[in-house]
Structure formats: C-alpha cells, structure tokens
Structure 1
Amino acid sequence: MQIDKQQVVEFLRNRGDQQQAEQADGELPDQVDTDQHADVLGKFGIDPQELLSGGLGGMKGKLGL
C-alpha cells in the first residue's frame, strides 16, 4: 500500500517523537510503500499494519478504504 510520507511524519509528531519525525522525513521517499519500506517504518516503531488499520488517526478513511 502506498501512503504519503507526510502522514508518517505527522504520526510520529503526534506521538511526540519530533526527532524521529525529522529523521523519517529525511529517509523516506515521498510515497511510502508499506511492504517495501516495512524495515524503515519498523526502525521508527511503526507497524505497517497499524498504518493500514487507522493508526494514523483514521488513515483508512483518508486512503478511501
């Protein structure tokens, strides 16, 4: 699944991880593939399934799922 990098960055900021948010902003491509980039997401403590299940404050609705 493709998601916008800014959604991941916002998720980290909302979690209070400003430093990780800045690091993710520099390391992730503009469009994040949850399968291809699962290792990088894991590095930031993000489970790709969490993103798909609405872990970003209703991400499913934003993706039209």
Structure 2
Amino acid sequence: MQIGKQQIIDFLKSKGSNEQASQAESELPDQVDTDKDSGLLSKFGINPQDLIGKFSGGLGGLGG
C-alpha cells in the first residue's frame, strides 16, 4: 500500500514521537510503500500493518 510521507509523519507525531517524525521527514521517500519500505518503517518503530489499518479505513483499533 502506498502512503504519503506526511501521513506517516503525522502518525508519528500523534504517538508523541516528534524526534522520530523529524528523522522520518528527512529519510522517507515522498510515497512510502508498506511492503517495499517495511524495513525503513520498522526503523521508526512503525508496524506497516498499523499504517494499513489506519489509512485504509480498516478496523485498526481492535486488537491491541
């Protein structure tokens, strides 16, 4: 799934990870592929499935 860099930065900020958000801003491509870039996302403590659930309109809040 393709997700815009700004959405990921906002996601990090909403979790209180401002330092990671600023680092992600400089390192992530404009469009992040949750499959191809999963290693880069994990560097910022992001589970790609969390992003998919949040941005695909899925049931992201259930299981946690």
TM-score, normalised with respect to structure 2: 0.84
Alpha-carbon deviation of 1:53? 1.1
Point out where structure 1 has 5 or more consecutive residues left out of the alignment.
Answer: none
Count of equivalent residues: 57
User: Counterparts of 1:17 and 1:9 in 2: how far apart (Å)?
Assistant: 9
| Among candidates 47, 52, 56, match of residue 60 of structure 1 | 56
State the match for 1:13 in structure 2: 13
* Alignment partners' CA distance in 1, 2:25 and 2:44: 11
Q: 1:3 aligns to what SS in structure 2?
A: strand
Structure 1: which 4+ aligned runs deviate by more than 6 Å? Answer: none
Q: Does the residue aligned with 1:32 lie in a helix, a strand or coil?
A: strand
Unaligned runs of 5+ in 2: 58-64
In 2, distance between residues paired with 1:50 and 1:18?
18
Quote the RMSD (CA, aligned, Å).
Answer: 0.8
CA distance in 1, matches of 2:53, 2:12: 16
For 1:60 and 1:2, the matched residues in 2 are separated by 10
Identity value in percent: 54
Distance, in Å, in 1 between the alignment partners of 2:19 and 2:50 is 20
